Every structure is written in structure tokens, then in C-alpha cells.
Amino acid sequence: MPPSSKPPADASRTVAPRRRQRLSTEERERQIVDGAIQFFSEHGLTGQMRELATTIGVSHPLVFHYFPSKKALIERVYAEVYLGRWKPEWEHRVKDRSEPFEARLTGVYIDYARTILTKEWVRILIHSALADGYINDHYLTLVGERLLRPIIGEARAELGLDDDREPTEAETELIWGLHGGIFYIGVRHWIYGHKFPENLPQVVTDRVRAFMLAAREIFPREAGKPAG
Amino acid sequence: MPPSSKPPADASRTVAPRRRQRLSTEERERQIVDGAIQFFSEHGLTGQMRELATTIGVSHPLVFHYFPSKKALIERVYAEVYLGRWKPEWEHRVKDRSEPFEARLTGVYIDYARTILTKEWVRILIHSALADGYINDHYLTLVGERLLRPIIGEARAELGLDDDREPTEAETELIWGLHGGIFYIGVRHWIYGHKFPENLPQVVTDRVRAFMLAAREIFPREAGKPAG
DNA sequence: CCTACAATTTACCAAGTGGTCAAAAGCGGA
DNA sequence: TCCGCTTTTGACCACTTGGTAAATTGTAGG
């Protein structure tokens, strides 16, 4: 269609005819994944492929050239956002008794909060949870085993209740109250639209303090009970 | 399906010939609204009208006969589920100083938890929050003004800090930590699929206790600060 | 400059999507 | 029994949607 003489080196990057831009496979794929993370966090996993492609600036079949299906793209997003951000050091630090327990817990949760309290992280998790629960089952199992369970163990040790019964309901609820509460800060901001805390470390520190105060009262009460 | 004696030779029809059942306007409308509440809580607000109609056992144009559009039906669902369940007595009890503060707070939150921790309530709220935030803006404003703000006031009075500055960030975060934590119990059960606490009143009582312990430490610290 | 190949797009499909409408059929009243 | 009104539905519409195929075009290597 375009005559031999190329149209003028069209530097006016207006809207009209999309200039076909050829990128390397890696660059384009990166661009699509990044665009998808942004897009799905805003429009949910049911957002349209065409619209996603438009926001990236390409035609929608190109997305299918890089990912065989929408599902495959979504799985890639999961992997990038969730599997990629978990830090094994959290679990290690929780168990490292060279530091006082409350300080360990506070330090870990300040970093955890910084890591997960982002728009993509919070919104995509909720979207996925409502859609099929796929990531949740995976992610929350990880959290429960690698973070919450060790915390219960350390809390018991801290309070001189060292034993390895299964956590009771009250203990489980207490630690989920802390953990879920941190996540809920993100829900309030990125889903409800409330303002984000100005002093996040202080908020987290206060939450951990509240957990410790309650644990000192509730853990001993549970010490003789059968597993919840 | 009763063993009907009238199915004519026309039984060659592929799908089961749905028996046309005529109900009064009120009955049918009630049936549709109830069905919609169930359906939307499971499939989200993007669930299809045809599928909804099928679960109710009618054809989908019938739904449009009762509600002019999908949006109108959804608004009706909001009204039934949220506007209909708020109890003004919560606010009254929070402020009724004839009872000790912690007991009031515990009593209110046990009833509040019983009221909102249902599948429809939790799931539709989250779905709506992700979709457009329409109910949240309304509902959470209600919660903030009628419940959380009075609680902060009563907590200050309880701790001898009676004044009417705007709540500070730390105070706001603390009470939202309690309130959001209660709601999050529902998220864990109806969205994440975790088991529901066997002893909900005990869990709520523990949460309120944790709030009180933390408040005794944090509210006095905030007493001289400018509004957050 | 040309060629070959991969990146990119246009045109298309089949199955769904909310919503409409006129025909069909229960049911109360005569 | 039949009439007439209202509920209920089958058929249909225009638009959306994930996905495909073949044509198109940028560009590296000769």
C-alpha cells in the first residue's frame, strides 16, 4: 500500500496510523507482561485482550503470538508478581533468636508490608481469589507454613510455652488477625480508595505490639488445650 | 418433576420441556431477587443473566420483565443485602455508658460479626469493590461515621483523654485494624475457603481485647498530636 | 540492494452477551 | 366453557470476545 517513497519520517507521534514497531522477542514479551500486570490489576482478570493490547500499543493477535491463551498470560502474571516476590529471609529472620522476638516480628512485617502493599499485588490477588482461588490456595498455604506456623512456634517459645502441638483456633486466629490486618491495609487503599498510611512502619509496629500484648494473654490460656 | 401423564408424543424435544409456572408478581420478584443474591455472590456481578435465569428456573427474558436492566437488578441486590442489614442499635450501644466500654464494644462486634459474616454479604461487597466501588464508598462512609468515629470517642473517654480532635493516623489505623480484621474473617472463609471459626464470639472477644490492650498504650501516646 | 525470516497486523470465526418483541399459555371471572 | 388479561417464553439482534490464519512488513545477513 505505501508507495515506494516512504511517508516523511513521521516524527509526529499522534494517533493516526499506528507505526509498526518491531522489537526483539524479549523486549516485546517483557512489555506485554508488564502491561498485563498493570492492566489486570485495574480491570480484573476478565479484562479484554483487545483492550490490554491497545494499552500496550499493539494489535491483540500479537499478544496471542507471545502467549498461546489468555490463561497462559495470566499464569505468567501470577508467577511474576507472587512467586517472584517471596523472600525466604522472612522465615529465617523469624526463627533467628539472636534478636528479641518482637523486634524480629516487627522487622519481618515491615519488610513484608513494603513488599506486598502494591496495587498489582493486592488487586490481582483479590481478583484471582474471587475468580477461582487459584493463587490463594497456593500463596496462603505458603504463608501459613513458612511464616505463620513458625511465628506461633516462636511466640510460644517467647512465652515459655515451648511445645509442638497443632496451633489452637485462638492462636491461629490471633496470628491471622495480624497477618490479614497488614494485607487489609492494602485492601483499604487500593480497593476501597482510602488514603495510605503516612507512616507505614509505625502502623506495622503498632500492629505487632497489639499482637504481642494479646498473645501474652491468650497463648498461655490455650497452653493445655487440644489442637484446634 | 412429577410423573406427568400429559407429555405428548412431542417428547422428541431435545431439552426437557420446561413446565410453564405462573406466579404472582410478588412471588416471582422475590424469587428473582433471592436467586440473584445467591447467584451474584457466587459468580460475581459479571455473571450472565441467562445463567442466573436458569438457576432460578425461568427464561432470561422473564428477568428483564421484572427488572429493566441488569444494573437495576444489581442495585436491588445492594439495597436488600446492605441497606437492609445495618442496625442503628450498634451506634447507640457503643455510646451507652451504663455498660463498661470493653463489654459494649465486644457485644456490638459480636452482633456485627454475626450480621455481616455471610457468604452474600462478604462476596458481593468485594465483587462490587473491585468493579466500581459503588457500595464501598457508601457503606464504608457509614461505618466510619456511625461506628468507628464514636468508638474512638468512647475509647478516649475510657482512657481519660476526652477531647474532640480529629482522630490521628495511629488511632484510625488501630480501630480499622479491629474492624477490618472482623470482616477479614469472612474473606478468609468465603473467599479463601479457610474454615470458619468454631467459636466466633470468642474470636471476636479476643480481637476486642487485643484492641483494648493496644489502645491503652497507643491512644495516650497520641493525645497531644495534631489531627492525622 | 536483495532476500529470507520472524514480527506484526488485517480480516475473520464461533460462541457468548445484554436486551427486545411478538406469540404462547396459565388462570380468574363470566 | 370460554374470554381476556398477564405472565412467560422462543426467536432474534447487535455487539463483544477469545482465538486463528494468512497476508504484510521491518530488518539482519549476504
**Segment A112-167, tens digit of pLDDT:** 999 999 999 999 998 888 877 777 788 888 899 999 999 999 999 999 998 888 99
Which of the residue ranges A2-6, A214-218, B82-86 would you say has the lowest mean pLDDT? A2-6
Give which of B48, B74, B53 is closest to B63, Cα–Cα. Answer: B53
Condensed to tens digits (0 to 9), the pLDDT of residues A181-208 reads 899 999 989 988 888 999 999 999 999 9
The pLDDT value recorded for residue A132 is 74
Helix (H, G, I), strand (E, B) or coil at A50: helix
Mean pLDDT computed over B162-172: 89
The yes-or-no verdict on residue A32 having pLDDT over 80 is: yes
The yes-or-no verdict on residue B19 having pLDDT over 80 is: no
The reply to whether A50 Cβ lies less than 7 angstroms from strand C is no
Which cell goes with A34?
A: 508488564
Q: Which of residues 181-210 of B touch strand C (CB under 7 A)?
A: none
The pLDDT value recorded for residue B4 is 33
The pLDDT value recorded for residue A227 is 62
B175 CB contacts (<8 Å, ≥6 apart)? B148, B151, B152, B155, B167, B211
A98 CB contacts (<8 Å, ≥6 apart)? none
Q: Closest CB to A170: pick one of B130, B185, B202.
A: B202
**pLDDT band, very low/low/confident/very high, at B204 (cuts 50, 70, 90):** very high
Q: Could you tell me the distance in Å between the CA of residue A37 and the C1' of nucleotide D27?
A: 30
Q: What angle do CA A92, A93, A98 make, to 5 degrees?
A: 115
Which cell goes with A158?
A: 517467647
Residues B67-82, buried b or exposed e (16+ Cβ, 10 A)?
beebeebbebbbeebb
CATH entry, B21-81, from 3.20.20.70, 3.40.50.170, 1.10.150.120, 1.10.10.60: 1.10.10.60
Neighbours of B95 (CB within 10 A): 13
The reply to whether A23 Cβ lies less than 7 angstroms from strand C is yes
Mean pLDDT computed over B112-129: 94
* CB of B130 less than 8 A from some CB of A: yes
The yes-or-no verdict on residue A8 having pLDDT over 60 is: no
Mean pLDDT computed over A43-58: 95
Mean pLDDT computed over B78-106: 95
Residues in chain B: 228
Mean pLDDT computed over B184-207: 92
The pLDDT value recorded for residue B15 is 40
Condensed to tens digits (0 to 9), the pLDDT of residues A75-111 reads 999 899 998 999 999 999 999 999 999 999 999 999 9
The pLDDT value recorded for residue A194 is 86
The pLDDT value recorded for residue B146 is 94
**pLDDT band, very low/low/confident/very high, at A14 (cuts 50, 70, 90):** very low
Which of the residue ranges A28-32, A65-69, A201-205, B166-170 would you say has the lowest mean pLDDT? B166-170
Dist CA A138 CA A122 (whole Å) = 15
Mean pLDDT computed over B217-225: 87
The mean predicted confidence, pLDDT, of chain A is 88
For testing contact with chain A, the best of B117, B142, B173 (most A CBs within 10 A): B173
The yes-or-no verdict on residue A18 having pLDDT over 70 is: no
Query: What letter does residue B11 receive in the DSSP assignment?
Result: G
**pLDDT band, very low/low/confident/very high, at A68 (cuts 50, 70, 90):** very high
Helix (H, G, I), strand (E, B) or coil at A84: coil
Mean pLDDT computed over B201-217: 94
Nucleotides of C under 7 A from a protein CB: 6-11, 16-22, 25-27
Q: Closest CB to B192: pick one of A133, A185, A217.
A: A133
The yes-or-no verdict on residue B134 having pLDDT over 80 is: no
Protein fold of A25-80: Arc Repressor Mutant, subunit A (1.10.10)
The yes-or-no verdict on residue A16 having pLDDT over 60 is: no
**pLDDT band, very low/low/confident/very high, at A19 (cuts 50, 70, 90):** low
* CB of A104 less than 8 A from some CB of B: no
The pLDDT value recorded for residue A139 is 87
The mean predicted confidence, pLDDT, of chain B is 88
Q: What angle do CA A130, A149, B173 make, to 5 degrees?
A: 60
A200-222 helix and A169-190 helix, angle to the nearest 10 degrees: 160
The yes-or-no verdict on residue A10 having pLDDT over 90 is: no
Closest-approach residue (CA) in chain A for B190: A130
Q: Which amino acid appears at position B73 of this protein?
A: L
The yes-or-no verdict on residue A6 having pLDDT over 50 is: no
Q: Report domain extents, chain A.
A: 25-80, 85-222
Dist CA B141 CA B27 (whole Å) = 34
Judged by C1' against the alpha carbon of A26, the nearest nucleotide is: C7
The yes-or-no verdict on residue A224 having pLDDT over 70 is: yes
For testing contact with chain B, the best of A130, A134, A182 (most B CBs within 10 A): A130
The yes-or-no verdict on residue A1 having pLDDT over 60 is: no
Give which of A200, A176, A131, A191 is closest to B182, Cα–Cα. Answer: A176
The pLDDT value recorded for residue B16 is 46
